[in-house]
Amino acid sequence: MLRTILLGPPGAGKGTQAVKIVEKYHIPHISTGDIFRENIKNGTDLGNRAKAYMDRGELVPDELVVEIATDRLTKADCKNGFLLDGFPRTIFQAEKLDEFLEGRGEKLDKVINIDVEKSALVKRITGRRVCKQCGAGYHIENIPPKKEGVCDNCGGELIQREDDTEETVLNRIDVYNKQTRPLAEYYEKSGIIANIDGNKDLEDVLADIVKALGD
């Protein structure tokens, strides 16, 4: 049983580490960003409403996000826990999540707060490539695929996320600092936060996270 959240700026490595964490703890990986991107791809109403905000690097309005996230948490696969990636992102969202869990007699076990220096964030985001087919993540320098532009896992085409331009990422970092960073203090008060240095190599970051979560 593990109910946990990954907190951290764009490019901190949330998605990359999430894949490893859910493998180890057998819990679902819930990324609100991935849910929105899936909806944009499928041209749903939700996707249409979220797209303009995401393209600018702004947050999607709280009401929309809270409903999607809490709805996802009612699914059967969350009964033994979950890993939230990119939600909550505002104090309002965090309060709504607490209320939702409380209503079910549940609470968060841990908040993993990954931080990385700004200059590294920009390099990570502009060099990120994702598989169009299976969603696997790469970096042109840090984690290159065996063959340029091609996914190691499935042979799919590697593409750039639409919001991964330098301009948009700088805005995303600002938005993070203003609206999401205060969450660290919010969770500090409940004593469940673990601060992780995300500047290290992938494996070292993962080891620090596992240490914080316990076996």
| Chain residue at closest Cβ approach to Mg ion | 15
- H/E stretch holding 53 reads helix 45-56
Asked if residue 134 binds Zn ion (CB under 5 A), the reply is yes
Rounded Cα distance between 182 and 70, Å, is 21
Task: Tell me which of Zn ion, ligand AP5, Mg ion, none is bound by residue 11, counting a contact when its beta carbon lies within the kind-specific cut-off of 5 to 8 angstroms.
Answer: ligand AP5
User: In the beta sheet, which residues pair with residue 84?
Assistant: 5, 30
- Pick what 180 binds: Zn ion, Mg ion, ligand AP5, none; C-beta below 5 to 8 Å, kind-dependent: none
- Written as six digits, the tokens of 118 are 């700004």
Q: 89, 96, 124, 129: which is the annotated catalytic residue?
A: 89
Q: Contacts with ligand AP5 in 75-134 (CB under 6 A)?
A: 86-89, 93, 124-125, 127-128
DSSP label at 61? P
DSSP-derived secondary structure for 142-210? TB--SBTTB-TTT-PBEE--TT-SHHHHHHHHHHIIIIITHHHHHHHHHT-EEEEETTS-HHHHHHHHH
Q: Tell me, yes or no, if 181 is annotated catalytic.
A: no
Options 39, 40, 51, 57; binder of ligand AP5; rule CB under 6 A: 57
Q: Does 128 participate in catalysis according to the annotation?
A: yes
Q: Is 11 a binder of Mg ion (CB under 5 A)? A: no
* Cα 122 to Cα 130: distance, rounded to the nearest angstrom: 16
The yes or no reply on residue 15 touching Mg ion (CB under 5 A) is yes
- Closer CB to ligand AP5, residue 81 or residue 88? 88
Which of the following is catalytic: 14, 51, 96, 123?
Answer: 14
Tell me, what DSSP letter sits at residue 80? T
Assess 72 for contact with ligand AP5 (CB under 6 A).
Answer: no
Q: Which residues contact 179 (CB under 8 A, 6 or more apart)?
A: 59, 89, 90
DSSP 141: T
Interface residues for ligand AP5 in 156-185 (CB under 6 A)? 172
Catalytic annotation present for 172: yes
Task: Examine residue 13 and tell whether it contacts Mg ion (CB under 5 A).
Answer: no
Q: Which residues bind ligand AP5 (CB under 6 A)?
A: 8, 10-16, 31-33, 36, 53-54, 57-60, 65, 86-89, 93, 124-125, 127-128, 137-139, 142-143, 172, 201-202, 205
Residues carrying an active site annotation: 14, 89, 128, 161, 172
